[in-house]
Structure 1
């Protein structure tokens, strides 16, 4: 479908930025000396290819972040048992509280992913440390999952002043292990500036903030997600809004004024130079989650759009290399569902409908199955994307929803609040994990009677498609000490956090 934009570029050619000064940043890093891309690697959870990742043993644990909406108690990192043979399967077996208040944990991630095997910046890569950004506090907590993966221990806190002074950013949102360091997307500027948002670069091993990643920003101002096509030397970013546009809930005037993000940006990965902006149309408000193909030679991926202000539908688009530049095409549309106004929250009553609100996507490691969270209608949709330009719908599971309030089979008499929000897929594609909270202030707008907290696991058929809720796996509410839960990552890697350099 495409000619590679920079076929000769590989991550080994990426220039370094003084990220490594030779001193010992953390105890334990020396354990893997001499291992890496050249001579094998000691960490068995770093995989040379997507196929190797799919064939590896299943995840024994899941890590879930939870936050206190009131900011009166510390947020937490929860550990959940995912081993079906365990006596504590489906239960929270560890709870680690942060050292501060008011962080509002949201997205988080590993310090290393499988493509670290080809990153010159990694001395001895291990998928070991979990980095937890506070979306409201602009603070970053770093936890070591060794020696006890059930009880990660705090090893470092990066304060907001360091992020502001060294990178010029605030409100860290999403992070991934990249060629020159850890890429940390941020919504806001420094020192109270609303923007521009962008990407901060952190050292792979010390987790010190190095600088802003961008060198020529072009027209980019709003920020949200960041991903890449490593073997083509291309980075991709998406758009949400500045802190003032999102922190107090969705602003109807800004939404109807088409002021939230609605574009994709493409960059030169090695230099941080802006290359291309593609506008999806300003009616398509909030172009959020990016899910590039895991095939390291591919140059396509999916992005989800939360809402079309003209009809309240949501959509999924594919971006792809089209001869001499990137192009986009809408491939999935989810229509709004009519509803009785009295059953709707105040923000939606004038419309008489429930918008699907696509707030997350996940693409299986084999690039075969796409999962689409419709948080508003309480649906998780599964699509066969063997042909990514023509997704084929294969299954839907309903849990929660603004008006439906569908129950889980494990508690059939308990209508659920919230809906499928963050979705995580196991490396082998057989397990799908869902959490139900979007963002504190937005939860309160769309679920004003309370969103609760729950984590569901679905069993998926990676050969023929299909989804079935696991009645043995449904921790909720008290299991998470009353905190709302947002994102999940899996021990050993998962579909949304791992990238690969080899086929």
Structure 2
């Protein structure tokens, strides 16, 4: 009867997910920053009872070069427990990994041995382009009826023929089915997306088109406020755009979307990389009220003055380091929001019990463009806190240090050797770096997205409120 029971790693509510067994493995996307070798998927032992804790157990190289792996995800998750799901008995088994630069995607099978994932399918760029008109796949989320993939490019070699959007894949055959949008309205740029399944809406954000990021940040476009600065809201089942909120053209690069995990809570958060008027970064809270969506700035992170001699060419004229919020993540109980400031080298923890009044409750420093803070073990750390992943129980926060290869070289010209570290937290708030967890990936690899075995705080979406 095993095949007709839901996967035990699926949980109806966030509170039940928090009670699950701790993760034993982490899967980490590795990037060849100079594209001299293929990217890879690493398996890291995060089981504290294991003799190999904190080491790389396996590294699976891809068959091609230049993929630039990005925000990969599972084929299925707790959303499969939705009353509307036609896939209730799928398993959280396959990792679906997008190559953002190549427009190629890979599928890894984590069974029978999760320590040794196997590449079982490659989806070539031509299939994605011909069926969707999109390119540059970026973020993978599993939904009740399939796998959703956001893209950053439209058609053509440059990815600028038509707007980017979202396409859907079959969660068992991995066939590309087609683009998701029926009515996209005014949406022209794309980045992240997430949803509230019972309340039937999606939220999406904006970064840039491929010519604005593939060869590095385009300073003229940034200062001209030509990167994304809006949130978009969608009717999920109708696949229809219903509202745009422009955060203001100076709020450049509206990136990670983090809705409340409990679907009875009608709000969420988004991070803005930089305000071109003052170099500060910001956190915005969005919510729905009276049938309309609203958003307001609820936290800011200021730039930090720095000696121009310590700065890359891009920043010398400012004599300051912008925080550059590159990722945010929300704990499963919706209490703590973690904010990665890749420029200043800080991971911030905010208490968001009141989502409209985030309160700084903890901070660690590591790396940074000017600060270059070493790890508690005395080792250097290139880059700064970047992609962040929280354990389901909220007690461990993992992060890596590479953003995107060309941007890495612009902001950190000395290089960013790939490293994964971990912070420990307390239920009352506060966090500190674990001096004994420091994973180096070596061989010219950068480290980007992390996924935790059995699920984590940016993988699952839930259909039932916590009791």
Q: TM-score range by the shorter chain?
A: over 0.9
For these two proteins, the number of residue pairs brought into alignment is 462
Deviation string for 1:222-272 (max 9, x for gaps)? 000010011110011100001111101110110011000000000010121
Of 457, 461, 465, which aligns to 1:499?
461
Is it true that 1:420 corresponds to 2:390 in the alignment? no
CA contact (8 A) 1:117 1:125 kept: no
Q: Describe the SS at the equivalent of 1:53.
A: helix
User: How much does 1:482 deviate?
Assistant: 2.6
Distance 1:120 1:491 in 2: 23
Of 156, 161, 172, which aligns to 1:205?
172
Aligned ranges for residues 392-411 of structure 1 at < 5 Å? 392-410=359-377
Of 111, 124, 137, which aligns to 1:146?
111
CA contact (8 A) 1:384 1:392 kept: yes
Q: Describe the SS at the equivalent of 1:232.
A: coil
Is it true that 1:487 corresponds to 2:454 in the alignment? no
Distance 1:173 1:128 in 2: 20
Q: Describe the SS at the equivalent of 1:296.
A: coil
Of 371, 376, 394, which aligns to 1:429?
394
Of 102, 123, 132, which aligns to 1:137?
102
Is it true that 1:263 corresponds to 2:230 in the alignment? yes
Q: Which runs of 5+ in 1 are unaligned?
A: 1-30, 36-40
Distance 1:307 1:69 in 2: 24
Q: Describe the SS at the equivalent of 1:207.
A: coil
CA contact (8 A) 1:380 1:396 kept: yes
* TM-score, reference length from structure 2: 0.97
- Please identify, of 395-404 and 106-115, the stretch whose mean Cα deviation from structure 2 is larger: 106-115
Deviation string for 1:47-69 (max 9, x for gaps)? 11111100111000000000112
Is it true that 1:372 corresponds to 2:339 in the alignment? yes
Distance 1:366 1:471 in 2: 26
Give the structure 1 partner of residue 438 of structure 2: 474
Distance 1:416 1:123 in 2: 43
CA contact (8 A) 2:33 2:444 kept: no
Deviation string for 1:49-93 (max 9, x for gaps)? 111100111000000000112222111100000111111111111
User: How much does 1:34 deviate?
Assistant: 2.8
Is it true that 1:459 corresponds to 2:424 in the alignment? yes
Give the structure 1 partner of residue 71 of structure 2: 107
Deviation string for 1:122-151 (max 9, x for gaps)? 152211100010000100000000001011
User: How much does 1:32 deviate?
Assistant: 4.8
Give the structure 1 partner of residue 191 of structure 2: 224
Distance 1:235 1:32 in 2: 33
Give the structure 1 partner of residue 262 of structure 2: 295
Of 149, 153, 158, which aligns to 1:184?
149
Give the structure 1 partner of residue 4 of structure 2: 34
Is it true that 1:314 corresponds to 2:281 in the alignment? yes
Give the structure 2 partner of residue 8 of structure 1: none
Distance 2:4 2:19 in 1: 26
**Alpha carbon RMSD of aligned pairs, Å?**
1.1
CA contact (8 A) 1:77 1:97 kept: yes
Is it true that 1:128 corresponds to 2:98 in the alignment? no
User: How much does 1:323 deviate?
Assistant: 1.2
Deviation string for 1:6-35 (max 9, x for gaps)? xxxxxxxxxxxxxxxxxxxxxxxxx85433
CA contact (8 A) 1:60 1:83 kept: yes
Distance 2:365 2:114 in 1: 32
User: How much does 1:370 deviate?
Assistant: 0.4
* TM-score, reference length from structure 1: 0.90
